[in-house]
């Protein structure tokens, strides 16, 4: 009886490990597929309209409308994001406010520019876009809390911070962590 129980346990344990491995591989494969699809779709896309700006989905309000944060990296401009609420179905901006503007005095963000960026951002179907002053574009595609995809405008901008990232196309790099 003990021998039969031991054999069953080994079989079940082996089956369990195989199942978990398959699930992990499948989930990584889905992320990789989404990233490959994004890169092939936007390989040569011009993201310069986002230069010195970031846009990301923060969540949804009680009506199910998207809450998007959009802000600027330009020296002297507001560092606090605008909060833009958008009806995802109609792509209509419901409201834009700067209630996150803390301790910045009379800081006025360019609402018109940020509203346009927010609407353009939705076309890419990503969670986050940031384009720095060197036109390096950073993306979040899978709900991570930090960018998992970057396109360098020039390889000279690939710093040691990206040593663990793998090349997946011309100046495109994917996080492997």
Contact 55, 68 (CB under 8 A): yes
User: Which whole-number Å values give the CA distances from 56 to 24, 50, 92, 100, 119, in the listed order?
Assistant: 27, 12, 17, 15, 11
pLDDT given for residue 52 in this prediction: 92
pLDDT given for residue 100 in this prediction: 74
Does residue 48 fall inside a structural domain?
no
What tokens were used for 4? 């039969």
Split into its structural domains, the chain has a count of: 2
Does residue 164 fall inside a structural domain?
yes
Does residue 52 fall inside a structural domain?
no
Binning pLDDT at 50, 70 and 90, where does residue 104 land? Answer: low
Residue located via tokens 């998992």: 148
Where does 43-104 have alpha helices with state H? Answer: none
Single pTM value for the model: 0.77
Neighbours of 123 (CB within 10 A): 8
Does residue 145 fall inside a structural domain?
yes
pLDDT given for residue 123 in this prediction: 95
Does residue 142 fall inside a structural domain?
yes
pLDDT given for residue 6 in this prediction: 54
Q: Pick the more confident residue, 134 or 23.
A: 134
pLDDT of residue 75 exceeding 90: no
Contact 73, 133 (CB under 8 A): yes
Q: Are residues 69 and 118 in the same domain?
A: yes
Q: What is the pLDDT of residues 23-39, one digit of tens each?
A: 333 344 457 888 999 99
Average pLDDT over residues 80-108: 82
Average pLDDT over residues 133-162: 91
Does residue 129 fall inside a structural domain?
no
Q: Are residues 111 and 62 in the same domain?
A: yes
The contacts of residue 98 (CB under 8 Å, 6+ apart) are 78, 80, 82, 83, 107, 108, 109
Task: Please give the Cα distance from 52 to 62 (Å, whole number).
Answer: 31
Boundary (domain end) residue, out of 123, 150, 165? 123
What tokens were used for 153? 């405008």
Does residue 156 fall inside a structural domain?
yes
Q: Quote the domain boundaries for residue 113.
A: 57-123
Mean of all residue pLDDT scores within the chain:
82
Does residue 32 fall inside a structural domain?
yes
Neighbours of 94 (CB within 10 A): 14
Q: What is the pLDDT of residues 3-13, one digit of tens each?
A: 555 555 555 54
Boundary (domain end) residue, out of 123, 147, 163? 123
């Amino acid at each position: 009886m003990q021998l039969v129980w031991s054999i069953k346990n080994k079989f079940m344990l082996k089956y369990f490990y195989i199942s978990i491995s398959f699930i992990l591989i499948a989930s990584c494969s889905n992320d990789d597929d989404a990233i490959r699809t994004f890169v092939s779709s936007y390989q040569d896309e011009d993201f310069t309209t986002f230069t010195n700006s970031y846009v990301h989905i923060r969540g949804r309000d009680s009506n199910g409308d998207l809450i998007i944060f959009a802000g600027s990296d330009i020296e002297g401009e507001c560092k606090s994001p605008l909060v833009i609420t958008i009806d995802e179905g109609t792509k209509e901006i419901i409201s834009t406010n700067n209630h996150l503007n803390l301790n910045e005095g009379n800081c006025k963000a360019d609402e018109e520019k940020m509203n346009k960026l927010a609407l353009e951002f939705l076309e890419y179907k990503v969670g986050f876009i940031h384009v720095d002053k060197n036109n390096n574009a950073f993306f979040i595609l899978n709900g991570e809390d930090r960018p998992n995809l970057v396109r360098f405008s020039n390889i000279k901008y690939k710093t040691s911070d990206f040593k663990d990232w793998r090349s997946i196309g011309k100046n495109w790099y994917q996080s492997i962590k």
